[in-house]
Structure 1
Amino acid sequence: MSKKFWEKLPQGSVVLEAGSSAKFKTGGWRAMRPKWIEENCIQCMFCWMYCPDMSVRVNAEGKREDFNYEYCKGCGICALECPGKKGVKAIVMEEEGK
């Protein structure tokens, strides 16, 4: 391949300033969403640690609360990493809109 076509591709995005990701709500295009089942949660905070979008809400006492769905992309990492209580997951993925 001698031709360079990458130069003709449109630019995808530009980060204009540090810390600006809070301005971009990305939760509107997910197909799956995590559902938190509080009674199965052991407050291990794995979901919070692994979430690439910081979509897991934590209260002033450091306890896990529900998701911030405006930023959650539905990747499912939280559900995958959740150990749950006695092997019963506290986070399951479900279709968006249910």
Structure 2
Amino acid sequence: MYKQLVSLSCAAILGLGSAAVLADDDVRMDEVPGLVEQGTIQSLESLNEKALSVQPGTITDTDLDKHYGRYVYEVEIRDAQGQEWDIDLDASNGDVLEHRRDD
């Protein structure tokens, strides 16, 4: 009984750890051309255009992450009034996942 409890506890801990690993991974920039070529994600240029169509301004930062198996392109934009905005896009199709003003 004790061995089974220990085994189950270890399995649970390992499972939680692997879920955390799958939850959020930065994608290296050298991986991007291959992902675009494979059709896994859209080009960063087209994703930038989409973000700017949602929130006009100047792009100040971008990041490509993999969240639970989904590629998410995160764009920070400063508008004409100096407000910062965060736009999260599904990198595979350009759908807007989140559009929020930074506080």
TM more than 0.5: no
More strand by share: 2
Query: Larger relative CO (CA 8 A, sep 6+): 1 or 2?
Result: 1
Which structure: greater helix fraction?
Answer: 2
Q: How does the TM-score come out when normalised to structure 2?
A: 0.27
Question: Which protein is bigger by CA-based radius of gyration?
Answer: 2
